[in-house]
Structure 1
Amino acid sequence: MHLAADYPHRGGRLGHWTLAAAFLRTENRRRAIAGCAVLASALLLVATPRLRHSPALHLFADMRNLLGVPNTLNVLTAYPLLLVGVPGLVLCLCGSGCFGISLRWEALGWFLFYAGNIGAAFGSAYYHLKPDDDRLIWDRLPMMISASSLLSILVIERVDEGAGLSCLISLLSLLLVSSACERVLDDMRLWVVLNFIPCVAIPAMLFLFPPKYTHSRFWFLATGFYLLARFEGLADRKVYSVNRYFISGHSLEHLCFAMVTLILTVMLSFRNIKIARDS
């Protein structure tokens, strides 16, 4: 009985075949997951009845006017996004010397994430000063850019840089299409689906794919605050009544989004490469 070691050329060939098979299995798993995600999103979009825009969307639980500022807390709670977004953006522009970023398109994703936070601070405050249809996009679009960038960053980090870039371009393009559908066709379905995707895809990717960097537990903490923010936004009035009309769910949603950015900034400051992988 001969061992593979007795025939180096056979052992090497067998090793190459084993690596190739493992690579194909990994690629097939990635494609299957991506295909299922796209199919599920398409089915959700088709199965959902047309969602028309309603003026009730502009009626928030807390519309108090304090110190002459309309919807005061909804306006003021948007600015913590600016306080955490600006330092993160500056450090991101400084490169890998300040943040644990090793891939070019990963840096682009983080740049858009922090830029979206800064845009959301101004856009949300601008919208809440006088909520109406014309100002709504300035509240929604920057935060959705941040969420789309965050999902794309995870794809770049844990799957593949090219796949992550494709994800980023696709999501940003769909955001523009969804805005046009809402304004021109009075249909919010695509916008709702795009809000739903990060809530499912980000936690799924954290469990399905291994991290490239250390301190990956910060991702779980940030995801928890992200999901909490979404819940508080949906339960705006309920949260407001539960805490005896001190602060509304929508205001807490702003603060939780700021916490997400703060947690991820701390993660970037401390992490380093855990699994070496070619871009």
Structure 2
Amino acid sequence: MPGSDQRKAGLLIGSALLLIVVTLYWAPITQPASFYDYADNHQRLGINNFTNVMSNLPFAVVGLLGIRLLSQIPSRQADQVIEPEISSAYFLFFQALLATSLGSAFYHLSPDPFGLMLDRIPISLAFVNLYCIVLSEYISPRLGQRLLFPLNVYGLLAVVYWYLMTTTQGDAADLSAYILIQLLPIVHLPLILMLYKERRPGSRYYLAALVTYGFAKIAELQDTGIFMLTEGWISGHSIKHLLAALAGWWIYRLLQLRTAKR
């Protein structure tokens, strides 16, 4: 491996180890007791927390569009659009978005730890599969393939572990393992986009997805403030759903454009 490649790999490995150390240092990371108290809890059309429930529909739309697009790519031309060695990761990403719409809608009907587990599992899987996709497209398809299964298992178990801990510890249950799932891609993906050359067009769309998701997290943190600013029309959490779905749409749009250029 050339020296420059060694330095790039060293930076990624070093930053991953640093994130793990920092996460372990701050553990246990817990969620506040007020976590389930969302600003908008209005019932409409007989549906509890109507806007927070219905704002999950775009996840289903993007997920279904992505699954349909991938299903229509001829196998002989697939390598122009996706990395064939990890084709399952692309499907899993959009399937996770579809599952997010169902899990999050179920959770918001009556927020509790079990529903939150069903919400967080597909979110975790969407993150790890997108991470493996970018690793494969920019660094090595073999690397993405080798990490695909263990990271999906980790993403699932991290959330299940948190839920099991809530049965005995309540709000004191440790979220560290789940938080790491989001931190690693959020830190690594922009580094990969900067350090490695793209072998297929896509950098600006991956970057757009990351930036959009960043705004989604900001909206989530400003749930009540946005709800008051819009005079009760929409809350920050509902906007978070819409922006997170838009982040997924950027990935769909990327694959759509690649398909059009075949």
After TM superposition, the structure 1 stretch with the greater mean CA deviation from structure 2, 235-244 or 224-233, is 235-244
Could you list the per-position Cα deviations for residues 146-204 of structure 1 after superposition, in whole angstroms to 9, with x for gaps in the alignment? Answer: 12111111100000011112333332222233224313342111112222222222222
* 1:179-198 correspondence runs (5 A): 179-185=159-165, 186-198=173-185
CA distance in 2, matches of 1:166, 1:34: 17
Q: 1:30 to 1:135 in 2, by over 3 A?
A: same
Aligned to 1:247: 234
8 Å CA contact retained: 1:77, 1:255: yes
Q: 1:252 to 1:105 in 2, by over 3 A?
A: farther
Q: 1:250 to 1:100 in 2, by over 3 A?
A: farther
CA distance in 2, matches of 1:221, 1:99: 23
Amino acid at match of 1:66: R
Q: What's the TM-score, normalizing by structure 2?
A: 0.87
Alpha-carbon shift at residue 55 of structure 1 (Å) = 4.3
User: Rg bigger for which structure?
Assistant: 1
Residue correspondences, number: 251
After TM superposition, the structure 1 stretch with the greater mean CA deviation from structure 2, 70-79 or 178-187, is 178-187
8 Å CA contact retained: 1:98, 1:269: no
Q: What's the TM-score, normalizing by structure 1?
A: 0.82
Uncovered stretches (5+) of structure 2, i.e. residues with no partner: 166-172
Aligned to 2:10: 32
Q: Is structure 2 residue 139 aligned with structure 1 residue 152?
A: no
Amino acid at match of 2:7: R
After TM superposition, the structure 1 stretch with the greater mean CA deviation from structure 2, 75-84 or 98-107, is 98-107
* 1:96-245 correspondence runs (5 A): 100-185=80-165, 186-245=173-232
Amino acid at match of 2:195: L
After TM superposition, the structure 1 stretch with the greater mean CA deviation from structure 2, 101-110 or 201-210, is 101-110
> RMSD in angstroms over aligned alpha carbons?
2.2
Residue aligned with 2:11, SS: helix
CA distance in 2, matches of 1:118, 1:100: 25
Could you list the per-position Cα deviations for residues 28-74 of structure 1 after superposition, in whole angstroms to 9, with x for gaps in the alignment? Answer: 13430232132112212221031345542211121111121100001
